[in-house]
A = this chain, B = another copy of it.
Amino acid sequence: MDKNEEKQREEEREQVVSPWEVSSSGKIDYDKLIDKFGCQRLDQSLVDRVQRLTGRPPHVFLRRGVFFAHRDLNDILDAYEKGEKFYLYTGRGPSSEALHLGHLVPFMFTKYLQDAFKVPLVIQLTDDEKCMWKNLSVEESQRLARENAKDIIACGFDVTKTFIFSDFDYVGGAFYKNMVKVAKCVTYNKVVGIFGFTGEDHIGKVSFPPVQAVPSFPSSFPHLFSGKDHLRCLIPCAIDQDPYFRMTRDVAPRIGYHKPALIESSFFPALQGETGKMSASDPNSAIYVTDSAKAIKNKIILLKCADKQVCIFWRTRKCGIT
């Protein structure tokens, strides 16, 4: 192993970002992540273009670089400028009773995109994924999906343009046909390369990537987009979901669809500091929309903060605790 290789391995140990794990020995290095994933930085000229096209001030998450990376956002804007509409697709894996602040980021931003571009939106609740990864029963995953849907609805989406669905309810028919089409284009070795599955992982995990892929294709929703197979799709999400859509973008042209475009956010830092993200796996890392004022105060007072800056931020700005 030469020095460069050693350095790279060291860096990989320091920073892990996958759909299931986000951790880092220091602050997460988003530039490195852009390089590694092969997406593009979302620069000021794109932010300005969004403003020009929508006639609205860009969302604070755009201005402040919370959404900082993208894939083919320019293509979506080119098409929009020519009068073509697109649709938005985002989602949630229901692993907790309620949403926390980190979960709200894509939904708040998606609401802004829906309002600004006046486009339809599909929201996937991956209750099947959480049933398989978290060892929840089918019934419990569905219950969590329903609870989470309430928090999502509260973000204020346009009810005439928004379709929220749970996989356990909706998978089948045209959606299942697209799943099969995607699955035929992806080898086991390929998903191992993308997601790092091992032979001891159950086959549900191997089967899942097509489920998250196909909402990117309008024909998966015949009751919404019948006859509009060439409608483009824009996916706002946190950057840890990028592997699913790298796979999807690879497959899309082979089965006759546009590659979905992506607009990707950084992570909402855990209460413990910026080396991880607010995560439902560790309730003390997160503030939930259902937490009482007292509970929030306690979480922050009790915080053994690893990162002084974050600690001061939370202690002073959010709760007025000094």
Q: Are B210 and A180 in contact (CB under 8 A)?
A: no
A123 at the interface (CB under 8 A from B): no
Q: Are B168 and A187 in contact (CB under 8 A)?
A: no
Which residues of A come within 8 Å of B, CB atoms? 128, 131-132, 135, 138, 167-173, 175-177, 180-181, 183-192, 197-204, 206-207, 209-210
Give the docked Cα–Cα distance between A273 and B88 (Å).
58
User: Copies of this chain, how many?
Assistant: 2
Q: A172-B171, A172-B176, A176-B168 are in contact. Are A183 and B204 (CB under 8 A)?
A: yes
Question: Which secondary structure dominates where chain A touches chain B?
Answer: helix
A187 CB contact (under 8 Å) in B135, B169, B173, B200: B200
Q: A138-B177, A171-B171 are in contact. Are A204 and B184 (CB under 8 A)?
A: yes
Jot down 15 A-B pairs with beta carbons below 8 A, ordered by A: A138-B180, A168-B173, A168-B180, A171-B176, A172-B173, A172-B175, A183-B202, A183-B204, A183-B207, A187-B199, A187-B200, A188-B200, A188-B202, A189-B200, A190-B203
Q: Are A183 and B203 in contact (CB under 8 A)?
A: yes
Q: A128-B176, A138-B177, A177-B138 are in contact. Are A184 and B202 (CB under 8 A)?
A: yes
